Amino acid sequence: MDNSEIMIGPRALIKRHEFVRVIVQCLYSLGYKNSASCLESESGILYKSVDFEKLELQILNGNWDGCIDTLNAISDLNMNDEIRASVLFLIFKQCLLEYLNRGEESLALDVLRKQVPSLIVSKEKVHKLASSILCLEEKELGNIDEDDISELRRRLLVELQRLLPPPVVLPERRLEHLIETAVTSQIDSCFYHNSRVAVSLYEDHCCGRDQIPTETIQILSEHKNEVWFVQFSNNGQYLASSSSDCTAIIWKVLEDDTLTLKHTLRSHENPVSFVAWSPDDTSLLTCGNAEVLKLWDVETGICKHTFGDHGFIVSSCAWFPDSKRLVCGSSDPEKGIFMWDCNGNEIKAWRGVRMPKVVDLAVTPDGENLISVLSDKDIRILNLVTNAERVIFEEHPITSLSISVDSKFFIVNLNSQEIHLWDVAGNWEKALKYKGHQQNKYVIRSCFGGLDSTYIASGSENSQVYIWNRRNSKPIEVLSGHLMTVNCVSWNPKRPQMLASASDDHTIRIWGPSQSRKT
């Protein structure tokens, strides 16, 4: 049997000839030249194909007619016209340069007039080639020595290796690519993968539940009434919470993954329904329920500014990436959406008869899009760069909105007991849907979290916390511990195994992996 036809592997899916060849390539790329040469000798299988070795020799010797004959022979086997034209164009370019450098203008002109135009390349590319050669002729041609010519030929070979198809040339680092693809596939099929620790090749990859937060490691009970909102800072070093007791609290995350109270923010007359960290984590916004918006200094806990007046009903707020501008929406249709600087100066406003009430809003972390939930069921995505607008219509009322850290996705909670995941760019016709939690009457907030925002977490009216892997519509974990409705959850962006949840039972629970020490 021909060596090229021998199959190996438990399922006999791998051609032994190809397998050995990519191993040889890998050994060369890792610098093990003696081992690679030994394997070539013992197996009789060479890293470089006969065709490429022939082409390599012809190029290094400047045998351009031979190059063209070899390429034409290869083209008859497995090279499409477009690749053939690109390869020949590079060879003609080198050929032209060398002819002109030797003063053989007639040969160069013959190539430029007869050979190059026959290729399937644009006229613009041909003109660009001619112009570049002419520029060289004035400055450098005639002065290029043999060493430089040899270096240019070696560079040409490198370019051809990227263009020529297999099996003439192997794609660069082929074995590493195949192994990385296999490892990535195993990671993608692992619902609990939540760590940047390198995956071992010695065994199939499969993480356990201990990679995600499943166990209460601390209960924070300083609030005196229902806790409505929690959010970790962008640097993961703080947690902010707000409550119907009319206060917000800033908590410090310690090195041992426990939290301690840093500031209690007292200034609102009504329950505090929402908080938002500035991207640089130096400031915090708090929204009073049917009340004003306040700006706090995180380090001192001092209120720096109050936005609006008692007639301005704030529903939500968000920051722009520069930490100098903020935007807030009102549940009053006449007020709409305002953009302010940190001193309360109005920069821009979206309001008028066409502007319905704002349920929730957010700015993508890259600052390009303002996403708002309007009149319960409409999602408006406004590109702040192009001013282009897109609207998504949901069938059921939306209670909250959350955006992924990479600005590519957002989720909305619906009172139909579903969470919908949409892409910001608008490439999806349908949302991905997640079910399992309970939501009928109250505002429930969900979040992205974990490594690369792989997970979605949400509160629930049945006092539990639900966690989904984004690739699965059913929850992979249901966390019990709270005694009443869980209103909001937040995943620490820098500690992928830490999750916080806020509940009507007056407490905040900090969740960690199952091996964590309880406090």
Query: What's residue 518's pLDDT?
Result: 42
Q: How confident is the prediction for the chain on average, in pLDDT?
A: 89
pLDDT for 511 beyond 80: yes
* DSSP character string of 22-71: HHHHHHHHTT-HHHHHHHHHHH---SS-HHHHHHHHHHHTT-HHHHHHHH
Confidence band, pLDDT 50/70/90 cuts, at residue 350: confident
Residue 217 CA to residue 233 CA, distance in Å, equals: 19
The dihedral through the CA atoms of 470, 471, 475, 477 has a sign that is negative
Residues 498/500/501/507 CA torsion (nearest 10 deg): 130
For residues 446 and 448, what is the distance between their CA atoms, to the nearest angstrom?
Answer: 7
More confident residue, 354 or 154: 154
pLDDT, position 129 = 61
* 3-class SS shares of the chain: helix, strand, coil, % to 5: 30, 30, 40
Q: What is the model's pLDDT at position 324? A: 95
Residue 363 vs residue 310, higher pLDDT: 363
Which pLDDT belongs to residue 118? 65
pLDDT for residue 356 is more than 60 = yes
Confidence of residue 258 (pLDDT cuts 50, 70, 90): very high
pLDDT of amino acid 103: 81
Determine the residue type at 45: I
Q: For residue 252, is pLDDT > 90?
A: yes
Percent over 70 (pLDDT), the chain = 90
pLDDT of 170 reads 92
Whether residue 474 contacts residue 464, with contact meaning beta carbons closer than 8 Å, is answered with no
Judge whether 208 and 492 are in contact, CB under 8 Å: no
Burial class (CB in 10 A: 0-12, 13-18, 19+), 462: middle
Q: What are the distances in angstroms from CA 347 to CA 327, 328, 332, 350, 503?
A: 10, 12, 19, 11, 36
Tokens in use for 112?
A: 């430029």
pLDDT above 50 (res 223): yes
List, for residues 366-422, the tens digit of each pLDDT value.
999 999 998 889 999 999 999 999 999 999 999 999 999 999 999 999 999 999 999
pLDDT grade, residue 101 (50/70/90)?
confident
Q: Are 445 and 459 in contact (CB under 8 A)?
A: yes
Taking the model in full, what pTM does it have? 0.83
Q: At what angle do helices 16-29 and 33-43 cross, to 10 degrees?
A: 160
Tally of CA atoms within 13 A in the half-sphere of 164 that contains its CB: 27
- Whether 353 shows a pLDDT value over 60: the answer reads no
Query: Peptide bond before 496: cis, by omega within 30 degrees of 0?
Result: no
Provide the pLDDT for residue 141: 59
Contact 287, 270 (CB under 8 A): no
Residue 146: exposed, middle, or buried by beta-carbon count in 10 A (0-12, 13-18, 19+)?
exposed
Longest dimension (CA), the chain: 93
Q: How far is CA 21 from CA 35, 183, 479, in A?
A: 13, 21, 51
Please give the backbone phi and psi of residue 508, each rounded to the nearest 5 degrees, phi first. -115, 130
Q: What is the pLDDT of residue 138?
A: 52
Give the pLDDT band of residue 2 (cuts 50, 70, 90). low
Per DSSP (E only), the strands in 148-207 are: none
Predicted local confidence at residue 516, as pLDDT: 46
Long-range contact pairs involving 86-93 (C-beta distance under 8 Å, separation at least 24): 86/121, 86/163, 87/160, 87/163, 87/164, 88/115, 88/119, 89/116, 89/119, 89/121, 89/125, 89/129, 90/156, 90/159, 90/160, 90/163, 91/59, 91/64, 91/67, 91/156, 92/116, 92/119, 92/129, 93/129
pLDDT at 517: 43
Q: Average pLDDT in the 28-57 region?
A: 94
The highest-confidence range among 92-96, 286-290, 375-379, by mean pLDDT, is 375-379
pLDDT confidence tier of residue 116, bands split at 50, 70 and 90: low
- Mean of the pLDDT values across residues 418-431? 96
Question: Is the Cα dihedral 265, 269, 275, 280 positive or negative?
Answer: negative
What would you report as the CA-atom Rg of the chain, rounded to the nearest whole angstrom?
32
Is residue 334 scored above 80 in pLDDT? no
On the question of pLDDT at 427 being above 50, the answer is yes
Task: Lowest mean pLDDT of 32-46, 109-123, 166-180, 388-402, name the range.
Answer: 109-123
Cα separation, 168 vs 158, in Å, equals: 14
- The better pLDDT of the pair 129, 16 is held by 16
Per DSSP, the residues of 404-438 read -TTSSEEEEEETTTEEEEEETTS--SS-EEEE-S-
Convert the pLDDT of each residue in 60-78 to its tens digit.
999 988 988 888 887 655 6
Count Cβ atoms below 10 Å from residue 430 Cβ, excluding itself. 7
Question: Would you say 295 and 304 are in contact if contact means Cβ atoms under 8 Å apart?
Answer: yes
Whole-number pLDDT of residue 351: 74
Q: What angle do CA 450, 456, 460 make, to 5 degrees?
A: 130
Residues 226-244, mean pLDDT to the nearest whole number: 97
- Encode pLDDT of 161-212 as tens digits: 888 888 889 999 999 999 999 999 999 999 999 988 889 999 999 999 999 9
DSSP 285-320: EEEETTS-EEEEETTT--EEEEES-TT--EEEEEE-
| Model confidence band, residue 117 (pLDDT cutoffs 50, 70, 90) | low
